[in-house]
Structure 1
Protein backbone atom coordinates (compact mmCIF):
# COMPACT_ATOMS: atom_id res chain seq x y z
CA UNK A 1 0.00 0.00 0.00
CA UNK A 2 2.90 2.36 0.77
CA UNK A 3 4.46 1.88 -2.68
CA UNK A 4 1.05 2.38 -4.27
CA UNK A 5 0.59 5.65 -2.35
CA UNK A 6 4.05 6.89 -3.38
CA UNK A 7 3.27 6.21 -7.05
CA UNK A 8 0.06 8.20 -6.83
CA UNK A 9 1.77 11.10 -5.01
CA UNK A 10 4.60 11.35 -7.55
CA UNK A 11 2.01 11.08 -10.32
CA UNK A 12 0.49 14.34 -9.05
CA UNK A 13 3.65 16.36 -9.70
CA UNK A 14 3.19 16.85 -13.51
CA UNK A 15 -0.45 17.78 -12.98
CA UNK A 16 0.48 20.25 -10.25
CA UNK A 17 3.03 21.91 -12.56
CA UNK A 18 0.40 22.24 -15.30
CA UNK A 19 -2.04 23.73 -12.78
CA UNK A 20 0.55 26.27 -11.62
CA UNK A 21 1.24 27.40 -15.18
CA UNK A 22 -2.47 27.51 -16.08
CA UNK A 23 -3.41 29.57 -13.00
CA UNK A 24 -0.51 31.97 -13.54
CA UNK A 25 -1.35 32.53 -17.22
CA UNK A 26 -5.09 32.80 -16.55
CA UNK A 27 -4.64 35.67 -14.12
CA UNK A 28 -2.18 37.47 -16.41
CA UNK A 29 -4.64 37.23 -19.30
CA UNK A 30 -7.44 38.89 -17.33
CA UNK A 31 -8.29 42.44 -18.46
CA UNK A 32 -7.05 45.34 -16.40
CA UNK A 33 -3.74 46.56 -15.01
CA UNK A 34 -3.06 45.55 -11.38
CA UNK A 35 -0.59 48.42 -11.00
CA UNK A 36 -3.23 50.92 -12.10
CA UNK A 37 -5.71 49.42 -9.65
CA UNK A 38 -3.24 49.76 -6.78
CA UNK A 39 -2.28 53.30 -7.77
CA UNK A 40 -5.88 54.46 -7.97
CA UNK A 41 -7.83 56.34 -10.64
CA UNK A 42 -6.02 59.67 -10.08
CA UNK A 43 -2.46 58.33 -10.39
CA UNK A 44 -0.24 59.54 -13.22
CA UNK A 45 1.81 57.35 -15.56
CA UNK A 46 5.02 57.67 -13.55
CA UNK A 47 3.34 56.48 -10.37
CA UNK A 48 1.80 53.52 -12.16
CA UNK A 49 5.18 52.56 -13.65
CA UNK A 50 6.81 52.80 -10.22
CA UNK A 51 4.18 50.50 -8.69
CA UNK A 52 4.48 48.12 -11.64
CA UNK A 53 8.23 47.91 -10.97
CA UNK A 54 7.65 47.31 -7.25
CA UNK A 55 5.20 44.51 -8.06
CA UNK A 56 7.61 42.96 -10.54
CA UNK A 57 5.18 43.34 -13.44
CA UNK A 58 7.86 44.87 -15.65
CA UNK A 59 9.76 41.56 -15.71
CA UNK A 60 9.29 38.91 -18.39
CA UNK A 61 6.62 36.26 -17.86
CA UNK A 62 9.16 33.45 -17.18
CA UNK A 63 10.84 35.62 -14.53
CA UNK A 64 7.48 36.46 -12.96
CA UNK A 65 6.51 32.79 -12.95
CA UNK A 66 9.73 31.69 -11.25
CA UNK A 67 9.30 34.46 -8.65
CA UNK A 68 5.70 33.31 -8.13
CA UNK A 69 6.72 29.66 -7.63
CA UNK A 70 9.54 30.57 -5.22
CA UNK A 71 7.13 32.65 -3.16
CA UNK A 72 4.58 29.82 -3.15
CA UNK A 73 7.17 27.39 -1.81
CA UNK A 74 7.73 29.85 1.03
CA UNK A 75 3.99 30.07 1.72
CA UNK A 76 3.64 33.54 0.18
CA UNK A 77 0.54 33.88 -2.02
CA UNK A 78 1.04 37.61 -2.49
CA UNK A 79 -0.79 40.62 -1.09
CA UNK A 80 -4.37 41.64 -1.70
CA UNK A 81 -4.68 44.69 -3.94
CA UNK A 82 -7.94 45.67 -2.28
CA UNK A 83 -7.12 45.67 1.43
CA UNK A 84 -3.33 45.27 1.37
CA UNK A 85 -3.27 42.10 3.48
CA UNK A 86 -1.52 38.78 2.79
CA UNK A 87 -3.62 36.52 0.59
CA UNK A 88 -2.76 33.52 2.76
CA UNK A 89 -4.30 35.24 5.79
CA UNK A 90 -7.50 36.11 3.91
CA UNK A 91 -7.86 32.54 2.63
CA UNK A 92 -7.09 31.05 6.05
CA UNK A 93 -9.89 33.13 7.60
CA UNK A 94 -12.40 31.82 5.04
CA UNK A 95 -11.13 28.26 4.66
CA UNK A 96 -12.72 26.67 7.74
CA UNK A 97 -16.34 27.78 7.10
CA UNK A 98 -16.20 26.55 3.49
CA UNK A 99 -14.56 23.25 4.38
CA UNK A 100 -16.98 22.57 7.24
CA UNK A 101 -19.95 23.37 5.02
CA UNK A 102 -18.60 21.10 2.27
CA UNK A 103 -17.85 18.21 4.65
CA UNK A 104 -21.25 18.53 6.36
CA UNK A 105 -23.02 18.51 2.99
CA UNK A 106 -20.96 15.56 1.76
CA UNK A 107 -21.57 13.44 4.88
CA UNK A 108 -25.34 13.64 4.76
CA UNK A 109 -25.37 13.35 0.96
CA UNK A 110 -23.31 10.13 1.09
CA UNK A 111 -25.44 8.60 3.86
CA UNK A 112 -28.69 9.52 2.13
CA UNK A 113 -27.45 8.51 -1.32
CA UNK A 114 -26.10 5.13 -0.21
CA UNK A 115 -29.19 4.24 1.83
CA UNK A 116 -31.66 5.25 -0.88
CA UNK A 117 -29.54 3.66 -3.62
CA UNK A 118 -29.16 0.33 -1.82
CA UNK A 119 -32.85 0.18 -0.88
CA UNK A 120 -33.84 0.98 -4.47
CA UNK A 121 -31.51 -1.70 -5.81
CA UNK A 122 -32.66 -4.41 -3.40
CA UNK A 123 -36.35 -3.62 -3.99
CA UNK A 124 -35.94 -2.55 -7.61
CA UNK A 125 -39.12 -1.97 -9.63
CA UNK A 126 -41.14 -1.86 -6.41
CA UNK A 127 -42.56 1.11 -4.53
CA UNK A 128 -39.37 1.85 -2.48
CA UNK A 129 -37.44 2.00 -5.75
CA UNK A 130 -39.97 4.28 -7.43
CA UNK A 131 -40.16 6.57 -4.41
CA UNK A 132 -36.39 6.81 -3.98
CA UNK A 133 -35.68 7.51 -7.63
CA UNK A 134 -38.48 10.09 -7.79
CA UNK A 135 -36.84 11.96 -4.91
CA UNK A 136 -33.45 11.63 -6.62
CA UNK A 137 -34.74 13.05 -9.91
CA UNK A 138 -36.29 15.96 -8.01
CA UNK A 139 -32.98 16.68 -6.31
CA UNK A 140 -31.08 16.70 -9.59
CA UNK A 141 -33.65 18.84 -11.39
CA UNK A 142 -33.92 21.63 -8.80
CA UNK A 143 -31.15 24.30 -9.07
CA UNK A 144 -29.18 24.93 -5.89
CA UNK A 145 -29.82 28.68 -5.77
CA UNK A 146 -33.59 28.15 -6.21
CA UNK A 147 -33.67 25.45 -3.52
CA UNK A 148 -31.78 27.75 -1.17
CA UNK A 149 -34.23 30.59 -1.64
CA UNK A 150 -37.20 28.24 -1.12
CA UNK A 151 -35.67 26.89 2.11
CA UNK A 152 -34.96 30.41 3.36
CA UNK A 153 -38.50 31.51 2.60
CA UNK A 154 -40.03 28.47 4.31
CA UNK A 155 -37.84 27.81 7.35
CA UNK A 156 -36.48 31.30 8.04
CA UNK A 157 -39.18 33.73 6.92
CA UNK A 158 -42.45 31.83 7.41
CA UNK A 159 -41.62 29.43 10.25
CA UNK A 160 -38.68 31.26 11.83
CA UNK A 161 -37.01 28.01 12.83
CA UNK A 162 -33.56 28.43 11.28
CA UNK A 163 -31.21 31.34 10.54
CA UNK A 164 -30.59 32.25 6.91
CA UNK A 165 -27.23 34.06 7.08
CA UNK A 166 -24.01 33.67 9.04
CA UNK A 167 -22.05 30.67 10.33
CA UNK A 168 -21.82 31.16 14.08
CA UNK A 169 -23.70 28.02 15.25
CA UNK A 170 -24.63 24.53 14.10
CA UNK A 171 -28.11 25.76 13.13
CA UNK A 172 -26.55 27.97 10.47
CA UNK A 173 -25.20 24.86 8.70
CA UNK A 174 -28.57 23.16 8.21
CA UNK A 175 -30.08 25.10 5.32
CA UNK A 176 -26.82 25.70 3.38
CA UNK A 177 -25.73 22.06 3.73
CA UNK A 178 -29.13 20.80 2.54
CA UNK A 179 -28.98 23.19 -0.41
CA UNK A 180 -25.41 22.27 -1.30
CA UNK A 181 -25.77 18.52 -0.80
CA UNK A 182 -29.18 17.91 -2.40
CA UNK A 183 -27.89 17.46 -5.94
CA UNK A 184 -24.99 15.28 -4.81
CA UNK A 185 -27.29 13.10 -2.70
CA UNK A 186 -29.57 12.57 -5.69
CA UNK A 187 -26.66 11.66 -7.99
CA UNK A 188 -25.20 9.32 -5.37
CA UNK A 189 -28.55 7.57 -4.95
CA UNK A 190 -28.96 6.96 -8.68
CA UNK A 191 -25.34 5.90 -9.17
CA UNK A 192 -25.40 3.59 -6.15
CA UNK A 193 -28.59 1.93 -7.38
CA UNK A 194 -27.12 1.38 -10.85
CA UNK A 195 -23.88 -0.05 -9.41
CA UNK A 196 -25.69 -2.41 -7.00
CA UNK A 197 -28.15 -3.61 -9.66
CA UNK A 198 -25.23 -4.45 -11.94
CA UNK A 199 -23.38 -6.40 -9.24
CA UNK A 200 -26.54 -8.19 -8.04
CA UNK A 201 -26.89 -9.71 -11.52
CA UNK A 202 -23.39 -11.24 -11.39
CA UNK A 203 -22.91 -15.02 -11.24
CA UNK A 204 -21.12 -15.03 -7.88
CA UNK A 205 -24.17 -13.39 -6.27
CA UNK A 206 -26.47 -16.08 -7.68
CA UNK A 207 -24.03 -18.70 -6.42
CA UNK A 208 -24.08 -17.18 -2.92
CA UNK A 209 -27.86 -17.26 -2.90
CA UNK A 210 -27.87 -20.85 -4.17
CA UNK A 211 -25.72 -21.83 -1.19
CA UNK A 212 -28.55 -20.74 1.07
CA UNK A 213 -27.01 -17.52 2.41
CA UNK A 214 -29.45 -14.96 3.73
CA UNK A 215 -30.18 -11.91 1.59
CA UNK A 216 -28.63 -9.66 4.23
CA UNK A 217 -25.38 -11.65 4.16
CA UNK A 218 -25.32 -11.69 0.35
CA UNK A 219 -25.72 -7.90 0.21
CA UNK A 220 -23.24 -7.09 2.99
CA UNK A 221 -20.50 -9.59 2.18
CA UNK A 222 -20.66 -10.12 -1.58
CA UNK A 223 -22.45 -7.17 -3.17
CA UNK A 224 -21.45 -4.20 -1.04
CA UNK A 225 -17.67 -4.45 -1.46
CA UNK A 226 -17.77 -4.87 -5.23
CA UNK A 227 -20.47 -2.27 -5.84
CA UNK A 228 -18.71 0.38 -3.77
CA UNK A 229 -15.65 0.61 -6.05
CA UNK A 230 -17.26 2.85 -8.72
CA UNK A 231 -19.30 4.60 -6.02
CA UNK A 232 -16.11 5.68 -4.24
CA UNK A 233 -14.87 7.27 -7.45
CA UNK A 234 -18.13 9.14 -7.78
CA UNK A 235 -17.83 10.32 -4.16
CA UNK A 236 -14.50 11.96 -4.91
CA UNK A 237 -15.80 13.66 -8.04
CA UNK A 238 -18.89 14.91 -6.22
CA UNK A 239 -16.79 16.26 -3.35
CA UNK A 240 -14.95 18.37 -5.89
CA UNK A 241 -18.31 19.44 -7.31
CA UNK A 242 -19.38 20.56 -3.85
CA UNK A 243 -16.31 22.77 -3.53
CA UNK A 244 -17.19 24.48 -6.79
CA UNK A 245 -20.91 24.63 -6.04
CA UNK A 246 -20.25 26.23 -2.66
CA UNK A 247 -19.62 29.53 -4.46
CA UNK A 248 -23.29 29.84 -5.46
CA UNK A 249 -24.63 28.58 -2.12
CA UNK A 250 -22.38 30.93 -0.15
CA UNK A 251 -23.72 33.84 -2.18
CA UNK A 252 -27.32 32.84 -1.42
CA UNK A 253 -26.77 32.43 2.33
CA UNK A 254 -24.13 35.20 2.75
CA UNK A 255 -21.78 32.49 3.97
CA UNK A 256 -18.37 33.84 5.12
CA UNK A 257 -16.32 31.35 3.13
CA UNK A 258 -13.93 31.15 0.20
CA UNK A 259 -16.74 31.24 -2.37
CA UNK A 260 -17.96 34.67 -1.28
CA UNK A 261 -14.34 35.82 -1.06
CA UNK A 262 -13.80 34.74 -4.66
CA UNK A 263 -16.91 36.61 -5.84
CA UNK A 264 -15.81 39.78 -4.03
CA UNK A 265 -12.30 39.47 -5.44
CA UNK A 266 -13.56 39.07 -9.00
CA UNK A 267 -15.81 42.11 -8.62
CA UNK A 268 -12.89 44.17 -7.25
CA UNK A 269 -10.32 42.76 -9.72
CA UNK A 270 -8.18 41.58 -6.80
CA UNK A 271 -5.88 39.39 -8.91
CA UNK A 272 -3.60 37.93 -6.18
CA UNK A 273 -6.62 36.70 -4.20
CA UNK A 274 -8.22 35.24 -7.32
CA UNK A 275 -4.97 33.50 -8.17
CA UNK A 276 -4.56 32.10 -4.67
CA UNK A 277 -8.15 30.81 -4.48
CA UNK A 278 -8.08 29.16 -7.91
CA UNK A 279 -4.79 27.49 -7.04
CA UNK A 280 -6.20 26.27 -3.72
CA UNK A 281 -9.35 24.88 -5.35
CA UNK A 282 -7.18 23.10 -7.93
CA UNK A 283 -4.94 21.65 -5.24
CA UNK A 284 -7.99 20.43 -3.32
CA UNK A 285 -9.19 18.60 -6.43
CA UNK A 286 -5.80 16.91 -6.76
CA UNK A 287 -5.81 15.86 -3.10
CA UNK A 288 -9.36 14.55 -3.42
CA UNK A 289 -8.35 12.44 -6.42
CA UNK A 290 -5.36 11.14 -4.44
CA UNK A 291 -7.61 10.20 -1.52
CA UNK A 292 -10.00 8.44 -3.91
CA UNK A 293 -7.14 6.47 -5.45
CA UNK A 294 -5.90 5.39 -2.02
CA UNK A 295 -9.40 4.42 -0.89
CA UNK A 296 -9.86 2.60 -4.19
CA UNK A 297 -6.75 0.55 -3.44
CA UNK A 298 -7.94 -0.18 0.09
CA UNK A 299 -11.29 -1.50 -1.13
CA UNK A 300 -9.83 -3.55 -3.99
CA UNK A 301 -6.24 -4.69 -3.23
CA UNK A 302 -5.80 -5.96 -6.79
CA UNK A 303 -5.69 -2.35 -8.04
CA UNK A 304 -2.46 -1.71 -6.10
CA UNK A 305 -0.62 -4.12 -8.42
CA UNK A 306 -1.47 -2.14 -11.57
Structure 2
Protein backbone atom coordinates (compact mmCIF):
# COMPACT_ATOMS: atom_id res chain seq x y z
CA UNK A 1 0.00 0.00 0.00
CA UNK A 2 1.20 3.51 -0.81
CA UNK A 3 2.96 5.18 2.12
CA UNK A 4 0.79 8.30 2.06
CA UNK A 5 -2.45 6.33 1.74
CA UNK A 6 -1.45 4.18 4.70
CA UNK A 7 -0.62 7.21 6.81
CA UNK A 8 -3.93 8.86 5.93
CA UNK A 9 -5.88 5.72 6.84
CA UNK A 10 -4.03 5.57 10.18
CA UNK A 11 -4.89 9.23 10.76
CA UNK A 12 -8.57 8.77 9.89
CA UNK A 13 -8.90 5.63 12.04
CA UNK A 14 -7.27 7.26 15.05
CA UNK A 15 -9.44 10.37 14.67
CA UNK A 16 -12.57 8.20 14.59
CA UNK A 17 -11.50 6.39 17.76
CA UNK A 18 -10.79 9.74 19.42
CA UNK A 19 -14.32 10.95 18.66
CA UNK A 20 -15.75 7.72 20.05
CA UNK A 21 -13.76 7.87 23.30
CA UNK A 22 -14.47 11.59 23.71
CA UNK A 23 -18.22 11.15 23.28
CA UNK A 24 -18.48 8.10 25.56
CA UNK A 25 -16.36 9.72 28.28
CA UNK A 26 -18.68 12.70 28.58
CA UNK A 27 -21.77 10.49 28.44
CA UNK A 28 -20.51 8.54 31.46
CA UNK A 29 -19.97 11.65 33.58
CA UNK A 30 -22.53 12.04 36.40
CA UNK A 31 -25.21 14.68 36.13
CA UNK A 32 -28.14 15.51 33.87
CA UNK A 33 -27.35 17.99 31.06
CA UNK A 34 -30.97 19.16 31.03
CA UNK A 35 -30.81 19.92 34.75
CA UNK A 36 -27.49 21.71 34.29
CA UNK A 37 -29.09 24.00 31.71
CA UNK A 38 -32.37 24.68 33.52
CA UNK A 39 -31.01 24.84 37.06
CA UNK A 40 -32.00 23.03 40.26
CA UNK A 41 -35.39 24.79 40.47
CA UNK A 42 -36.74 23.27 37.24
CA UNK A 43 -39.69 20.88 37.55
CA UNK A 44 -39.86 17.41 36.01
CA UNK A 45 -41.91 18.52 33.00
CA UNK A 46 -39.34 21.15 32.06
CA UNK A 47 -36.51 18.65 32.47
CA UNK A 48 -38.25 16.09 30.25
CA UNK A 49 -38.94 18.73 27.60
CA UNK A 50 -35.28 19.81 27.62
CA UNK A 51 -34.11 16.17 27.40
CA UNK A 52 -36.34 15.75 24.37
CA UNK A 53 -34.90 18.92 22.82
CA UNK A 54 -31.33 17.73 23.43
CA UNK A 55 -32.09 14.27 22.05
CA UNK A 56 -31.29 12.54 25.33
CA UNK A 57 -34.29 10.25 24.86
CA UNK A 58 -32.56 8.59 21.89
CA UNK A 59 -30.32 5.48 22.16
CA UNK A 60 -26.62 6.11 22.77
CA UNK A 61 -25.44 4.94 19.28
CA UNK A 62 -27.94 7.28 17.62
CA UNK A 63 -26.78 10.20 19.75
CA UNK A 64 -23.14 9.42 18.91
CA UNK A 65 -23.66 9.33 15.15
CA UNK A 66 -25.78 12.50 15.30
CA UNK A 67 -23.00 14.23 17.26
CA UNK A 68 -20.35 12.85 14.89
CA UNK A 69 -22.31 14.06 11.86
CA UNK A 70 -22.67 17.48 13.45
CA UNK A 71 -18.95 17.59 14.35
CA UNK A 72 -17.91 16.97 10.74
CA UNK A 73 -20.34 19.68 9.64
CA UNK A 74 -18.96 22.10 12.23
CA UNK A 75 -21.84 21.78 14.70
CA UNK A 76 -20.59 20.74 18.17
CA UNK A 77 -23.71 21.69 20.07
CA UNK A 78 -24.68 24.62 22.28
CA UNK A 79 -22.65 25.81 25.27
CA UNK A 80 -24.47 25.64 28.60
CA UNK A 81 -22.75 28.70 30.00
CA UNK A 82 -22.63 31.03 26.98
CA UNK A 83 -25.77 29.76 25.19
CA UNK A 84 -23.85 29.97 21.90
CA UNK A 85 -22.65 27.43 19.39
CA UNK A 86 -19.54 25.62 20.63
CA UNK A 87 -17.97 25.84 17.16
CA UNK A 88 -18.39 29.66 17.20
CA UNK A 89 -16.81 29.96 20.64
CA UNK A 90 -13.85 27.80 19.62
CA UNK A 91 -13.42 29.69 16.34
CA UNK A 92 -13.36 33.04 18.18
CA UNK A 93 -10.85 31.82 20.77
CA UNK A 94 -8.77 30.13 18.07
CA UNK A 95 -7.95 33.47 16.44
CA UNK A 96 -6.00 34.55 19.51
CA UNK A 97 -4.48 31.12 20.14
CA UNK A 98 -3.45 30.71 16.48
CA UNK A 99 -1.70 34.08 16.43
CA UNK A 100 0.03 33.35 19.75
CA UNK A 101 1.01 29.85 18.61
CA UNK A 102 2.48 30.99 15.28
CA UNK A 103 4.65 33.63 16.95
CA UNK A 104 5.72 31.20 19.69
CA UNK A 105 6.54 28.56 17.06
CA UNK A 106 8.67 31.02 15.09
CA UNK A 107 10.55 31.97 18.26
CA UNK A 108 10.96 28.27 19.12
CA UNK A 109 12.37 27.27 15.73
CA UNK A 110 14.64 30.31 15.45
CA UNK A 111 16.05 30.14 18.98
CA UNK A 112 16.15 26.34 19.17
CA UNK A 113 17.90 25.91 15.83
CA UNK A 114 20.39 28.72 16.42
CA UNK A 115 21.46 27.66 19.91
CA UNK A 116 21.38 23.95 19.08
CA UNK A 117 23.80 24.45 16.18
CA UNK A 118 26.01 26.90 18.09
CA UNK A 119 26.21 24.65 21.17
CA UNK A 120 27.18 21.66 18.99
CA UNK A 121 29.86 23.52 17.03
CA UNK A 122 31.34 25.10 20.16
CA UNK A 123 30.95 22.12 22.47
CA UNK A 124 34.60 22.31 23.59
CA UNK A 125 34.49 25.98 24.56
CA UNK A 126 33.77 26.65 28.23
CA UNK A 127 31.60 29.73 27.59
CA UNK A 128 29.17 27.85 25.35
CA UNK A 129 29.26 24.83 27.64
CA UNK A 130 28.09 27.08 30.47
CA UNK A 131 25.35 28.61 28.31
CA UNK A 132 24.26 25.12 27.26
CA UNK A 133 23.83 24.14 30.90
CA UNK A 134 22.02 27.42 31.59
CA UNK A 135 19.56 26.73 28.76
CA UNK A 136 18.49 23.53 30.50
CA UNK A 137 17.17 25.63 33.37
CA UNK A 138 14.40 26.88 31.10
CA UNK A 139 13.37 23.29 30.36
CA UNK A 140 12.70 22.54 34.02
CA UNK A 141 11.31 25.96 34.92
CA UNK A 142 7.47 26.20 34.83
CA UNK A 143 6.18 28.46 32.08
CA UNK A 144 4.35 30.75 34.51
CA UNK A 145 7.68 31.46 36.28
CA UNK A 146 9.22 32.43 32.96
CA UNK A 147 6.17 34.60 32.27
CA UNK A 148 6.51 36.41 35.60
CA UNK A 149 10.23 37.06 34.98
CA UNK A 150 9.47 38.51 31.54
CA UNK A 151 6.71 40.70 33.01
CA UNK A 152 9.08 42.02 35.68
CA UNK A 153 11.73 42.87 33.09
CA UNK A 154 9.75 44.20 30.10
CA UNK A 155 6.57 45.53 31.75
CA UNK A 156 7.44 46.60 35.30
CA UNK A 157 11.09 47.47 34.68
CA UNK A 158 11.47 48.69 31.10
CA UNK A 159 7.76 49.48 30.53
CA UNK A 160 8.05 48.36 26.89
CA UNK A 161 5.38 45.70 26.49
CA UNK A 162 1.86 45.13 27.90
CA UNK A 163 1.19 42.12 30.10
CA UNK A 164 -2.62 41.98 30.37
CA UNK A 165 -5.31 41.52 27.74
CA UNK A 166 -5.19 41.33 23.96
CA UNK A 167 -4.57 44.57 22.08
CA UNK A 168 -2.75 43.46 18.97
CA UNK A 169 0.69 42.09 18.15
CA UNK A 170 2.49 43.69 21.12
CA UNK A 171 0.26 41.80 23.54
CA UNK A 172 1.49 38.47 22.13
CA UNK A 173 5.24 39.05 22.36
CA UNK A 174 5.70 38.30 26.07
CA UNK A 175 3.38 35.24 26.20
CA UNK A 176 4.91 33.79 23.04
CA UNK A 177 8.40 34.27 24.51
CA UNK A 178 7.27 32.62 27.75
CA UNK A 179 6.17 29.57 25.74
CA UNK A 180 9.20 29.61 23.44
CA UNK A 181 11.83 29.81 26.20
CA UNK A 182 11.11 26.28 27.37
CA UNK A 183 10.21 24.70 24.02
CA UNK A 184 13.25 26.19 22.22
CA UNK A 185 15.53 24.81 24.94
CA UNK A 186 14.12 21.32 24.33
CA UNK A 187 14.58 21.68 20.57
CA UNK A 188 18.12 23.05 20.99
CA UNK A 189 19.06 20.09 23.15
CA UNK A 190 17.87 17.58 20.53
CA UNK A 191 19.61 19.41 17.68
CA UNK A 192 22.83 19.68 19.71
CA UNK A 193 22.88 15.97 20.56
CA UNK A 194 22.05 14.99 16.97
CA UNK A 195 24.77 17.20 15.52
CA UNK A 196 27.36 15.94 17.99
CA UNK A 197 26.49 12.39 16.98
CA UNK A 198 26.65 13.20 13.27
CA UNK A 199 30.01 14.97 13.60
CA UNK A 200 31.58 11.66 14.70
CA UNK A 201 30.35 9.72 11.66
CA UNK A 202 32.66 8.44 8.93
CA UNK A 203 30.98 10.43 6.15
CA UNK A 204 32.07 13.67 7.85
CA UNK A 205 35.72 12.65 7.75
CA UNK A 206 35.27 11.56 4.13
CA UNK A 207 33.74 14.92 3.19
CA UNK A 208 36.62 16.76 4.83
CA UNK A 209 39.19 14.57 3.10
CA UNK A 210 37.64 15.51 -0.25
CA UNK A 211 38.53 19.14 0.36
CA UNK A 212 35.19 20.51 1.55
CA UNK A 213 35.53 23.35 4.03
CA UNK A 214 33.86 23.19 7.46
CA UNK A 215 30.88 25.28 6.40
CA UNK A 216 30.13 23.02 3.42
CA UNK A 217 30.42 19.91 5.59
CA UNK A 218 28.04 21.32 8.18
CA UNK A 219 25.42 22.73 5.78
CA UNK A 220 25.41 20.03 3.10
CA UNK A 221 25.81 16.94 5.23
CA UNK A 222 25.73 17.25 9.02
CA UNK A 223 22.88 19.72 9.45
CA UNK A 224 20.43 17.90 7.20
CA UNK A 225 21.00 14.54 8.86
CA UNK A 226 20.93 16.07 12.34
CA UNK A 227 17.63 17.85 11.78
CA UNK A 228 15.75 14.68 10.80
CA UNK A 229 15.45 13.24 14.35
CA UNK A 230 14.52 16.69 15.64
CA UNK A 231 11.46 16.91 13.38
CA UNK A 232 9.53 14.49 15.58
CA UNK A 233 10.32 16.60 18.64
CA UNK A 234 9.29 19.75 16.79
CA UNK A 235 6.00 18.08 15.86
CA UNK A 236 5.21 17.34 19.49
CA UNK A 237 6.18 20.88 20.49
CA UNK A 238 3.95 22.30 17.73
CA UNK A 239 0.98 20.21 18.87
CA UNK A 240 1.50 21.39 22.43
CA UNK A 241 1.77 25.05 21.40
CA UNK A 242 -1.28 25.01 19.11
CA UNK A 243 -3.25 23.17 21.78
CA UNK A 244 -3.30 26.41 23.70
CA UNK A 245 -1.22 27.12 26.75
CA UNK A 246 -3.74 27.10 29.59
CA UNK A 247 -1.39 28.65 32.13
CA UNK A 248 0.14 31.30 29.86
CA UNK A 249 -3.18 32.47 28.44
CA UNK A 250 -4.56 32.86 31.96
CA UNK A 251 -1.44 34.65 33.23
CA UNK A 252 -1.70 37.23 30.44
CA UNK A 253 -5.55 37.22 30.35
CA UNK A 254 -5.67 36.27 26.68
CA UNK A 255 -9.09 35.22 25.30
CA UNK A 256 -7.80 32.01 23.72
CA UNK A 257 -8.35 28.27 23.83
CA UNK A 258 -6.53 27.89 27.14
CA UNK A 259 -8.76 30.37 28.94
CA UNK A 260 -11.84 28.79 27.34
CA UNK A 261 -10.79 25.39 28.70
CA UNK A 262 -10.47 26.81 32.20
CA UNK A 263 -13.88 28.46 31.93
CA UNK A 264 -15.58 25.29 30.63
CA UNK A 265 -14.11 23.17 33.44
CA UNK A 266 -15.10 25.57 36.22
CA UNK A 267 -18.68 25.86 34.90
CA UNK A 268 -19.02 22.14 33.99
CA UNK A 269 -19.95 23.16 30.47
CA UNK A 270 -19.81 19.65 28.98
CA UNK A 271 -20.64 20.45 25.31
CA UNK A 272 -17.94 23.12 25.23
CA UNK A 273 -15.45 20.92 27.07
CA UNK A 274 -16.26 18.02 24.73
CA UNK A 275 -15.65 20.22 21.67
CA UNK A 276 -12.37 21.53 23.10
CA UNK A 277 -11.20 17.98 23.87
CA UNK A 278 -11.92 16.99 20.27
CA UNK A 279 -10.05 20.08 19.04
CA UNK A 280 -6.96 19.31 21.15
CA UNK A 281 -6.90 15.67 20.03
CA UNK A 282 -7.37 16.64 16.38
CA UNK A 283 -4.53 19.19 16.57
CA UNK A 284 -2.19 16.55 18.00
CA UNK A 285 -3.11 14.06 15.29
CA UNK A 286 -2.76 16.64 12.52
CA UNK A 287 0.68 17.71 13.75
CA UNK A 288 1.85 14.09 14.00
CA UNK A 289 0.48 13.37 10.51
CA UNK A 290 2.28 16.43 9.13
CA UNK A 291 5.52 15.31 10.81
CA UNK A 292 5.26 11.86 9.20
CA UNK A 293 4.75 13.43 5.78
CA UNK A 294 7.58 15.92 6.25
CA UNK A 295 9.83 13.15 7.55
CA UNK A 296 9.21 11.10 4.41
CA UNK A 297 9.99 14.10 2.17
CA UNK A 298 13.29 14.86 3.91
CA UNK A 299 14.28 11.21 4.23
CA UNK A 300 12.65 9.18 1.39
CA UNK A 301 14.05 5.96 2.90
CA UNK A 302 11.24 6.03 5.50
CA UNK A 303 8.70 5.39 2.73
CA UNK A 304 10.39 2.15 1.69
CA UNK A 305 11.54 0.74 5.03
CA UNK A 306 8.36 -1.24 5.82
CA UNK A 307 8.42 -2.80 2.35
CA UNK A 308 12.14 -3.50 2.60
CA UNK A 309 11.73 -5.15 6.01
CA UNK A 310 8.90 -7.28 4.65
CA UNK A 311 11.02 -8.35 1.69
CA UNK A 312 13.94 -9.17 3.96
CA UNK A 313 11.69 -11.27 6.18
CA UNK A 314 10.38 -13.13 3.13
CA UNK A 315 13.89 -13.91 1.98
CA UNK A 316 14.83 -15.20 5.42
CA UNK A 317 11.82 -17.52 5.42
Do both proteins adopt the same fold according to a TM-score greater than 0.5, normalized to the shorter chain? yes
Whether 2:220 is the aligned partner of 1:221: answer yes
Mapping of 1:163-242 within 5 angstroms?
163-242=162-241
Alpha-carbon separation, structure 2, partners of 1:218 and 1:180: 33
For the 8 Å contact 2:120–2:195, the answer to whether it is kept is: yes
Match of 2:10 in 1: 11
For the 8 Å contact 2:136–2:185, the answer to whether it is kept is: yes
Q: Which moved more, 1:51-60 or 1:201-210?
A: 51-60
Match of 1:130 in 2: 129
Alpha-carbon separation, structure 2, partners of 1:262 and 1:29: 20
Gaps of 5+ in 1: none
Residue deviations 1:78-105 (CA, integer Å, cap 9, x gap): 1111121111111111111101111111
Aligned-residue RMSD, C-alpha = 1.5
Whether 2:43 is the aligned partner of 1:60: answer no
For the 8 Å contact 1:176–1:253, the answer to whether it is kept is: yes
Q: Please state how far the C-alpha of 1:245 moved relative to its aligned partner.
A: 5.8
Alpha-carbon separation, structure 1, partners of 2:191 and 2:131: 12
Alpha-carbon separation, structure 1, partners of 2:98 and 2:113: 22
SS at structure 2 position matched to 1:42: coil
Alpha-carbon separation, structure 2, partners of 1:109 and 1:102: 10
Q: Please state how far the C-alpha of 1:151 moved relative to its aligned partner.
A: 1.9
Alpha-carbon separation, structure 2, partners of 1:244 and 1:290: 15
Match of 2:115 in 1: 116
Match of 2:295 in 1: 296
Alpha-carbon separation, structure 2, partners of 1:222 and 1:18: 41
Residue deviations 1:107-149 (CA, integer Å, cap 9, x gap): 1111111111111111213135313312321211211012112
Whether 2:262 is the aligned partner of 1:263: answer yes
Alpha-carbon separation, structure 1, partners of 2:289 and 2:99: 20
SS at structure 2 position matched to 1:229: helix
Provide the aligned length of Structure 1 versus Structure 2.
304
Alpha-carbon separation, structure 1, partners of 2:134 and 2:297: 32
Gaps of 5+ in 2: 306-317
Match of 2:158 in 1: 159
Residue deviations 1:167-225 (CA, integer Å, cap 9, x gap): 22221111100111111011011111001111111111111112221111100011011
Match of 2:285 in 1: 286
Q: Which moved more, 1:110-119 or 1:161-170?
A: 161-170
The ranges of structure 1 where at least 4 consecutive aligned residues each deviate by more than 6 angstroms after the TM superposition are: none
The TM-score normalised by the length of structure 1 is 0.95
Match of 1:43 in 2: 42
For the 8 Å contact 2:97–2:244, the answer to whether it is kept is: no
SS at structure 1 position matched to 2:162: coil
Match of 2:96 in 1: 97
